Amino acid sequence: MTTADAAGSLRGRDLISAADLSAAEVRTIFARAAALKAEFRAERRHADPLLRGRTLAMLFQRPSLRTRVTFEAGMTQLGGHAIYLTEDVVMGAREAVRDVARNLERFVDAIMARTGPHQVVEELAAQATIPVINGLTLREHPCQALADLFTLHERFGDLRGVVLAFVGDGNNVYHSLALLGSTLGMEIRLAHPAEYGPNERIVARARELAGASGGRLVFTSEPADAVRGAAAIYTDAWTSMGQEAEAEERREAFRNYQVNAALAAEAPDALVMHCLPAHRGEEITSEVMDGPRSVIFEQSENRLHAQKALLVECLG
């Protein structure tokens, strides 16, 4: 619906791309997330119902565990309400996307949407007068990147110069990590097979952001080269939602991109990250996923805290 205002306030803003947030805005979200997390962990409830009376419509064209439950639980915990809507109701199947937007803006305070095509979320945002949050498209997953970099911020504080090595597909999760990490001055590496690289326009945008922040983007085809010296090793599914027909050829192409004990040994101090859902024995072994360096379930928990913070900043 809107773009950044002069004051940098997130109130009323959309989150469609991880590049929509400035470093100062990310720091505001992280600070709010840390406070909400501390209170929720101590009390299992919030003294101040910051989203009382607020309603979020959640539109899903793809399945979800974390995104659905963390947004819905987050709204409830802050005194608001979330409504789960599936593909048979929305997103052009029954009526045009713009008509969905024009209805929902009269009923609820914000929309969170998980679509296949990125253009659907962009269209929702263009048409609706209320904030629209991207809950994953084939191009980006900005809420995931927020939670992931909040997880690293909890460990390392200032993320400038911190190295994250993504091993596998140059996909939606990589794109959002590259954009947000570049905004924060991180070094984001990607080890990928030649034919599964990232979107060049997103890389170009990330390079601009990195140029301004002192960040860096590195690309290689060698997983071991990517992870050496990294603070975190990150992987994701070889086949994302909507690419199921390519699963067999992708399994072949990514065979040497598994995060396993041998690869993790190349970076003995690195944390291990995954956005989930994981395919144990494919992109990551159970030994590494369940090992002492894994922060995978902290990332998952932090979806709740980071998104609550985002909702409060956008709607509160």
Q: Which residues are catalytic?
A: 114, 141, 144, 236, 275, 303
Nearer to ligand NVA, 28 or 151 (CB): 151
Q: Report d(CA 76, CA 41) in Å as an integer.
A: 16
Exactly one of 72, 122, 140, 236 binds ligand NVA (CB under 6 A); that residue is: 236
Helices marked H in 53-141: 66-77, 97-107, 118-127
From 22-30, 62-70, 183-191, 217-225, give the range in contact with ligand CP by CB under 6 A.
Answer: 62-70
Exactly one of 61, 67, 134, 235 binds ligand CP (CB under 6 A); that residue is: 67
Name the pairing type of β-strands 232-235 and 216-220: unpaired
Closest CA to 57 of 88, 101, 118, 123: 101
Answer yes or no whether residue 244 interacts with ligand CP by CB under 6 A. Answer: no
Contact present, 36 and 308 (Cβ < 8 Å)? yes
Strand-pair partners of 133: 15, 112
Cα angle for residues 80, 314, 316 (degrees, 5° grid): 50
Compute the half-sphere exposure of residue 102: CA atoms within 13 Å on the CB side of its CA: 6
Answer yes or no whether residue 173 interacts with ligand NVA by CB under 6 A. Answer: yes
DSSP 125: H
Closest CA to 17 of 159, 122, 128: 122
Answer yes or no whether residue 122 interacts with ligand NVA by CB under 6 A. Answer: no
One-character DSSP codes across 130-170: S-EEE---SS--HHHHHHHHHHHHHHHSS-TT-EEEEES--
Q: Which does 171 bind (CB under 5 to 8 A by kind): ligand NVA, ligand CP, none?
A: ligand NVA
From 65-73, 115-123, 213-221, 262-270, give the range in contact with ligand CP by CB under 6 A.
Answer: 65-73
Exactly one of 241, 246, 247, 301 binds ligand NVA (CB under 6 A); that residue is: 241
Nearer to ligand CP, 50 or 57 (CB): 57
Exactly one of 66, 118, 205, 250 binds ligand CP (CB under 6 A); that residue is: 66
Q: Report d(CA 19, CA 251) in Å as an integer.
A: 30
Residue nearest to ligand NVA (CB): 240
Nearer to ligand NVA, 136 or 163 (CB): 136
Exactly one of 58, 90, 147, 237 binds ligand NVA (CB under 6 A); that residue is: 237
Residue nearest to ligand CP (CB): 67
Answer yes or no whether residue 176 interacts with ligand NVA by CB under 6 A. Answer: no
- The separation between the first and the last C-alpha atoms of the chain, rounded to the nearest angstrom, is 17
Answer yes or no whether residue 275 interacts with ligand CP by CB under 6 A. Answer: yes
Cα angle for residues 283, 285, 291 (degrees, 5° grid): 130
Q: Count residues binding ligand CP (CB under 6 A).
A: 9
From 15-23, 40-48, 87-95, 275-283, give the range in contact with ligand CP by CB under 6 A.
Answer: 275-283
Strand-pair partners of 273: 234
Q: Which does 65 bind (CB under 5 to 8 A by kind): ligand NVA, ligand CP, none?
A: ligand CP
Answer yes or no whether residue 127 interacts with ligand NVA by CB under 6 A. Answer: no
Residue 314: which H helix or E strand, with range?
Answer: helix 296-315
For the CB of residue 277, give the shortest distance to ligand NVA in the complex, in Å. Answer: 7
Closest CA to 90 of 132, 32, 151: 132
Exactly one of 172, 176, 199, 235 binds ligand NVA (CB under 6 A); that residue is: 172
Binding residues for ligand NVA, rule: CB under 6 A, are 136, 171-173, 236-237, 240-241, 275
Binding residues for ligand CP, rule: CB under 6 A, are 64-67, 136, 144, 275-277
